[in-house]
Amino acid sequence: MPNYDFDLLVIGAGSGGVRAARMAANKGVKVGIIEDRYWGGTCVNVGCVPKKLYSYASHFAEDFKDAAGYGWTLAEPEFDWVTLRDNQRQEILRLNGIYQRLLEGSGVERIDGRGKLVSAHEVQVGDKTYSAERLLIATGSWPYVPDFPGAEHCLTSNEVFNLPEFPKRFLVYGGGYIATEFASIFHGLGAETYQVYRGDKILRGFDEEVRGFVQDEMQQQGVNFYLGREILRIDKHLNALAVTLSDGRTLEVDAVLCATGRRGNVESLGLEQVGITPNSLGEISIDANFCTQVPSIYALGDVTGGPQLTPVALAEAMTLVHNLYSEEENRVMDYSNIATAVFCHPNIGTVGMSEEEAREQYRKIRVYTTSFKPMRNTLSGNPGKSLMKLVVDDASDRVLGCHVVGPDAGELVQGIAIALKAGLTKQDFDATVGIHPTSAEELVTLRSVTRN
């Protein structure tokens, strides 16, 4: 039997890679993990964590304004970008330290540098080569910037959290959830905000009613949408950027964030050396046990093209380690009814099927919806509304999808996700006594069918 340096060598120390390394090490496996930039991965450093912190920050302007209706007299609030930016940096450094201590405490060997595959069992890092019985690719994804004149002036989500100065005029290019979140965040922090997207409605892939509702709410708040348009070029003029759109219009802004998708982070990984060919999006094909076409090489997380969500990568890591290093029966990763949230303003929480997906797969469905002003907005005069929606299979009465738009929607839908995972019916929802007065009680008091 070959004498390898490691039993398992992980390339990429993001959520999935770190979880796999720690879980395997806890089972007595000799593990090494390689990372060249972000210990903790995208989520901790330039993704979910700083984004949520900035989302919190961007809500305060609205909160201060709403407070007047409740009797609070406040001085004119001032926002200081440097304080937010630097406090966020300190929190990320704290989390980096936690990740490093977790790895060290579990006995995983940390290797700093860019890993490159040189064979089915070997990875080169700098001038050293490490061998392992099994290799795991968990390198995540990377922001994609389209090729157009002046694209070099664009920011990506890698840089946007740590800008030296706050951009008073901010343009987001893209219509997905990352683009929409940042449009909301910078508008909430006080920037004149533009969102440019080639489609006619943001948030493609989400429930159509939710898409339209969120777009209308954001527009009412003051986000400027330029839909059905693309960026043709960006020219730098002194301290400003002139952005020319496909309709001939030019917008002058201080910063442009390109949020037009992500690609698998496989550059210089050496996949060609071992016969692995990623697709055009940089994604690596795997089987149900996360194995690539090379029997000793596995992959999981964003780089495989599945749902780009931290909890998914964590679940995949635990499934893989169980199957490789446990004598128990193999597990199969279940991707159904995965809940997710979008931290735009208003928030979105969603789990299960959209109305459109349900119509394609089921003979007859029932749809229950309600749109209302949350109780918190009554005295404040805030015009913002919430939307709640249930999609039900008419034959079995099983709830197929739940969609919430409004304050803390993600927090609410996490609980509903358990109900959908358990296969509960609309009758189960109806039999549940609500908590009054809350917005959430609407989900168990919906009685009238909106459409079927």
Q: Tell me the sheet residues that pair with 122.
A: 119, 131
Specify the residue for token string 């429930």: 207
Tokens 């928030």 found at: 347
Angle, helices 310-325 vs 15-26, to 10°: value is 30
Q: Distance between CA 406 and CA 265 in Å, rounded?
A: 34
Sequence-separated (6 or more) residues with CB below 8 Å from residue 314:
15, 16, 19
What residues contact 179, with CB distance under 8 A and at least 6 apart? Answer: 172, 173, 195, 197, 202, 257, 259, 260
312: three-class secondary structure by DSSP: helix
Q: Is 237 a catalytic residue?
A: no
Cα–Cα dist 8/25, whole Å = 9
| One-character DSSP codes across 188-242 | HTT-EEEEEESSSSSSTTS-HHHHHHHHHHHHHHT-EEEES--EEEEEEETTEEE
- Beta strand 122-125 pairing with 115-119: antiparallel
Instruction: Kindly tell me the sign of the dihedral angle through the C-alpha atoms of 328, 333, 339, 340.
Output: positive
Query: Which residues, 6 or more positions from 32, have their beta carbon under 8 angstroms from its beta carbon?
Result: 5, 6, 8, 9, 10, 21, 108, 109, 110, 111, 130, 132
* Active-site residue identified among 121, 322, 345, 436: 436
Beta strands in 69-189 (DSSP E): 109-112, 115-119, 122-125, 128-137, 141-143, 169-173
17: number of Cβ within 10 Å = 27
- Which residues are part of the catalytic machinery? 436
